Amino acid sequence: MGEPSGDVGAAPAPGTAPPGRSLRVGQGALVLAATPIGDAEDASARLRRLLAEADVVAAEDTRRTRALAARLGVTITGRVVSHHEHNESGRSDDLLDVVAHGGTVLVVTDAGMPTVSDPGFRVVQAAVAAGLPVTVAPGPSAVLAALALSGLPTDRFCFEGFLPRRAGDRARTLAALASERRTMVLFEAPHRVAEALDALVAAFGAERPGAVCRELTKTYEEVRRGPLAELAAWAHAGEVRGEVVLVVGGAPSDGPRDVADLVPEVLARVDAGERLKTVVAEVAEVTGVVKRDLYAAALAARRT
């Protein structure tokens, strides 16, 4: 429940299935299918059928897709081709040619939903532009799984993907999110989790609630919840392993108004190589504090 219902009497838009009926193999369609993010038992019956019947399976890693099919007891009868970030643009025309001639192209990634920090967007964009049918076989999602397990508000949230690797770029990205009131979901590589949490503390404050979700649906699934400073200390205390999703609570409704609370964020960005005046101007614009007051407070803090 809670999903919007369709207008039964409306005519289908170009590239979509008629109301009440999903596109099926044989009609000619590009199908995005979610794959398990850990536990193979999460594979849907529809994914199994699509793997067995699709004319072409476009896989991020063909070996992993074949291994998944073997675990599911499915024999792939169609052609399996690689479809990843380095060849997606060049591969799209070939895939859409199959669809245009009545074939089904199944797009899968190593785990989760195509297009969500994974290949798929370019071929979908091209299919929509060409007026070709596109549909989805929904299923596992690391974003939604982590959000649900985090214990943080789920009524409004945003997905920010991977944080920039360079400290200055990361600080600027987080500064723009400092007043974001929605719960935020982020991906991060395990060896950068501690560094990312330090940056989150600098940008959002030590007490902002968060969660580190690791190895979701797998044998060693772990969810750590608490203030960002606590989570950062945990990450520094030992090696973080596996696939990681970070979930961070949104800014309080009144937002940060105290200049003193913003000084650590400003100094962290300056230490990362940015100009003090530039940082102060950006932070003041986002938070609404007086620029000269923030500049004076930052200068005073640097002298101590």
Give pLDDT tens digits for 154-195: 999 999 999 999 998 999 999 989 889 999 999 999 999 999
The closest of 107, 180, 152, 169 to 246, measured between CA atoms, is: 152
In contact, 139 and 44? CB cutoff 8 Å: yes
In contact, 141 and 157? CB cutoff 8 Å: no
pLDDT at 13 over 80: no
Q: Rounded to whole angstroms, how far apart are CA atoms 269 and 276?
A: 8
In contact, 105 and 58? CB cutoff 8 Å: yes
| Overall average pLDDT of the 105-124 stretch | 93
pLDDT at 16 over 50: no
Residue 193 parent element (H or E): helix 193-204
pLDDT at 89: 77
Q: Which residue has the higher pLDDT, 177 or 21?
A: 177
Dump pLDDT digits (tens) for 271-295: 888 899 999 998 888 777 889 999 9
Identity (one letter) of the amino acid at 138?
P
- Percent of all residues in the chain with a pLDDT value above 70, rounded to a whole number: 89
User: 0.85 cut: is pTM over it?
Assistant: no
